[in-house]
Amino acid sequence: MKTKMKLQTSSSKLQRSSKIQIPNGIRHTENTRLRLEIWNFSEAWSLEFGVFRRAFTLVELLVVIAIIAILAAMLLPALSGAKIRAQEHSARLDINNLASAIHTYEADYSRLPASQQAITAALTGNPAVPEDFTYGTSGLPDLLTPTGTLAIKSPTTAAPGAYQTNNSEITSILLDVKRVSGKNPGGVGDDGVFRDPWGNPYIITLDLNNDEKARDAFYRDPAVSADSTSSPTPKLGLNGLVPTTIPSGVVYEVNSPVMIWSAGYDKMIDPTQPATQGANKKNIVSWK
């Protein structure tokens, strides 16, 4: 009853406050008047019961946009962090699978998956001591550093023409690895290079001097792997590496015939910083 009274009141108010204007050229028929009266009555109903919707003002739109921007700024770092963690997990899986494939090959064939050129370069490249072989960035772009770039090459003191190569030699021997088209991140590309999720090659060092230890071209350096806080001489190694003395000085190695690592999501290494600091801290390594 109250609703009906309200409707009647609104309708009567509308009739009193506004006259129905019929444009020129339209015949004054009862149907025309009825349609216009229904339209005015519907508008009165909407105003009375709050059904009428007006457009947003500019200020309201700006407030909504600002709220969305704030929420995006809060969520994007979290989403980015989740993506990086997923990529790091993928890189660790790649490294573990690659190391497992190398160990399986060694068990099956009683030798590591290295070519005769690599074996010869490792054993004769350094006249003072037989070396291991690092499959680095030969034939590929150098890795980034805070001040430029750095080529990762097998540690030999032979002539500049000494044999160097990247991990494509190992993947061609192992064969059973994930392949992707082109040179995209995350798998073995058309060039045979096994790359991490960020597009850099996995650096692999194999024990080719048969001492059951591996000395990597980058992590052998005391500037990278020596623990400056330790008191013994030579200093203890970081991340489980151990020091050893060769004619050229103290170097660091791992008690395993295989070392594999990635430059990490920042795609960067630093030959002047310890392995636990700066760009090196973000590297993904098989021995840690």
Report the C-alpha gap between 267 and 203 in whole angstroms: 13
pLDDT digits (tens, 9 = 90+) for 66-117: 889 888 888 887 777 888 899 999 999 999 999 999 999 999 999 999 999 9
Which is it for strands 242-246 and 187-188: parallel, antiparallel or unpaired? unpaired
Query: What pLDDT does 83 receive?
Result: 87
Query: What pLDDT does 54 receive?
Result: 65
User: How is the chain split into domains, by residue range?
Assistant: 2-20+27-49, 86-285
pLDDT in tens, the chain (288 residues): 444 444 344 444 444 444 445 455 445 455 555 454 544 544 544 444 444 556 778 888 888 898 898 888 888 877 778 888 999 999 999 999 999 999 999 999 999 999 999 999 998 887 778 999 999 999 999 999 999 999 999 987 655 678 999 999 999 998 755 555 555 567 888 899 999 999 999 999 999 999 999 999 999 999 999 999 988 889 999 999 999 999 889 999 999 999 999 999 999 999 999 999 999 999 999 998
Report the C-alpha gap between 150 and 158 in whole angstroms: 19
Residue closest to 144 by CA, chosen among 270, 248, 21 = 270
Cα 52 to Cα 12, 21, 48, 175, 272, distances in angstroms: 19, 22, 9, 70, 70
Concatenated DSSP letters for 70-139?
HHHHHHHHHHHHHHHHHHHHHHHHHHHHHHHHHHHHHHHHSS-S--HHHHHHHHHSSTTS---EEE-STT
Residue 62 backbone phi and psi in degrees, to 5? -65, -40
Report the C-alpha gap between 83 and 4 in whole angstroms: 61
The DSSP bridge partners found for residue 252 are 243
Query: What pLDDT does 159 receive?
Result: 56
Query: What pLDDT does 34 receive?
Result: 46
pTM above 0.95, yes or no: no
Give burial (CB, 10 Å; 0-12/13-18/19+) of 247.
Answer: exposed
